[in-house]
C-alpha cells in the first residue's frame, strides 16, 4: 500500500507506505551504495539514486478503497531520491573536503531544479538523517530528497508566518532574525562571507542550529558559485563542530528549507535556511520529544541556548584548529 490520507483535524496529509516495512536487512558485509555493489556506478563522487522503497512515486497505485467524504485519500504522487555523498562507506560530511561538498551542493541544486519542473510537485525537501539515534540503519554517507504533491504542514505554517510578517513590516522575517541574532551575538556560532550559523532564540533543541544565507535568497538555484563554496565551508565546519562537541559522531536531522515549487511567488518574504534537529543534550543523553511536545506541539528546550551556544562555539574552535593542523 502507498497512498496519502487526509487528516481533517490538522488540514494535513499522512503518507502511508506499508510496503516500506518489508525492506530487507542488509548483510553486514554488503552495502548497495558502495562501488562494486551493482546498484551504483563503480566510480562516482556524488550520486543521485532512486529510492528502492519510496513513500512517494511518479506512478503511484490507486489508493485502497477505504476513504470517504471525510477521510479522503489521494495517490502518493511524488519522488523519493537518495543522494550519495561519497563512495567511501565510512566518510561523514565534515570529513569530506570543501571541494567535495561543493559537488554535493551542485547535485542538490541540479535535482531541485529538475524536480521543480514537474507541475504536480509542490515542495522539494532535501534532508539528511544521521546517526542511530535518528533511526539510521545504513551508515554509508547519504541524504534524501522528497518531492511532495501536497504542501507539508510545517512548511505551510512557516510560509504563512513569513508572509504575515512581511505584510505587517515590509521586511523578510528571516532577514530580521539574522539582524537580531547578529546584534545579540551570544547565540551566533560562526559566520563567513555569505552565511550565518546560530542557535536561534526559540529553538527547541539544545543544539538546534540554523545556517542562514546573508543575502535574501529562496533556493539553492539562486546561489552564485562563491556562495555555494561558502555554504560548503560552513556545512563542513558546523557538522565538524557538532562531532567535536562530545568527541563522538553527533546525530542530527538536517533539513534545507527552500521556496515551494509550482505555487505562489514567495520571493519577497521567504528566505533560504538550513535547520538541524539534534537529539543529544549531553554526550549520552537524549532530548526526547515527550507527550506535551508531541500532543500539543508545546516545545520545551531543557537547556538555555545562550549557554549551549558557547559550548558549540568552543567545539567549532577545536574542530577548525584540528583541521588547520592537518
The catalytic site residues sit at 142
**Do 242 and 207 meet the contact criterion of CB atoms below 8 Å apart?**
yes
252, three cell numbers: 542530527
Q: How far apart, in whole angstroms, are the C-alpha atoms of residue 146 and residue 79? A: 6
Contact 251, 197 (CB under 8 A): no
**Pairing between β-strand 142-148 and β-strand 78-84 as defined by DSSP bridges:** antiparallel
CB-CB contact of 193 with 185 (8 Å): no
Whether the CB-CB separation of 213 and 195 falls below 8 Å is answered with yes
Is residue 203 a contact partner of residue 301, using CB atoms and an 8 Å limit?
yes
Kindly give, in sequence order, each residue whose CB lies less than 8 Å from that of residue 216, ignoring residues fewer than 6 positions away: 172, 175, 271
Amino acid at each position: 500500500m502507498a497512498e496519502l490520507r487526509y487528516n481533517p483535524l490538522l488540514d494535513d496529509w499522512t503518507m502511508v507506505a506499508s510496503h516500506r516495512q518489508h525492506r530487507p536487512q542488509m548483510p553486514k558485509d554488503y552495502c548497495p551504495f558502495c562501488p562494486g555493489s551493482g546498484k551504483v556506478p563503480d566510480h562516482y563522487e556524488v550520486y543521485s539514486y532512486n529510492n528502492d522503497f519510496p513513500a512517494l512515486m511518479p506512478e503511484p497505485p490507486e489508493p485502497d478503497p477505504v476513504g470517504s467524504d471525510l477521510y479522503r485519500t489521494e495517490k502518493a504522487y511524488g519522488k523519493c531520491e537518495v543522494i550519495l555523498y561519497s563512495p567511501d562507506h565510512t566518510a561523514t560530511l565534515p570529513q569530506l573536503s570543501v571541494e567535495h561538498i561543493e559537488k554535493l551542493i551542485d547535485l542538490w541544486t541540479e535535482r531541485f531544479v529538475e524536480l521543480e519542473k514537474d507541475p504536480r510537485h509542490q515542495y522539494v525537501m532535501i534532508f539528511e538523517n544521521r546517526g542511530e539515534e535518528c533511526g539510521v540503519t545504513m551508515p554509508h554517507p547519504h541524504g534524501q530528497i522528497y518531492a511532495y504533491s501536497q504542501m507539508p504542514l510545517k512548511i505551510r505554517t512557516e510560509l504563512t508566518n513569513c508572509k504575515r510578517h512581511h505584510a505587517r513590516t515590509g521586511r523578510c522575517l528571516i532577514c530580521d532574525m539574522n539582524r537580531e541574532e547578529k546584534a545579540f551575538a551570544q547565540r551566533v556560532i560562526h559566520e563567513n562571507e555569505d552565511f550565518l550559523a546560530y542557535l536561534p532564540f526559540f529553538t527547541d533543541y539544545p543544539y538546534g542550529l540554523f545556517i542562514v544565507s546573508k543575502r535574501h535568497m529562496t533556493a539553492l538555484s539562486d546561489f552564485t558559485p562563491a556562495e555555494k563554496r561558502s555554504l560548503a565551508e560552513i556545512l563542513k565546519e558546523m557538522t565538524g563542530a557538532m562531532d567535536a562537541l562530545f568527541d563522538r559522531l553527533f546525530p542530527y536531522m538536517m533539513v534545507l528549507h527552500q521556496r515551494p515549487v509550482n505555487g505562489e511567488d514567495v520571493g519577497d518574504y521567504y528566505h533560504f535556511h538550513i535547520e538541524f534537529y539534534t537529539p543529544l543534550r549531553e554526550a549520552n543523553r537524549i532530548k526526547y520529544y515527550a507527550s506535551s511536545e508531541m500532543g500539543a506541539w508545546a516545545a520545551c528546550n531543557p537547556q538555555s541556548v545562550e549557554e549551549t551556544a558557547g559550548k558549540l562555539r568552543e567545539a567549532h574552535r577545536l574542530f577548525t584548529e584540528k583541521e588547520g593542523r592537518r
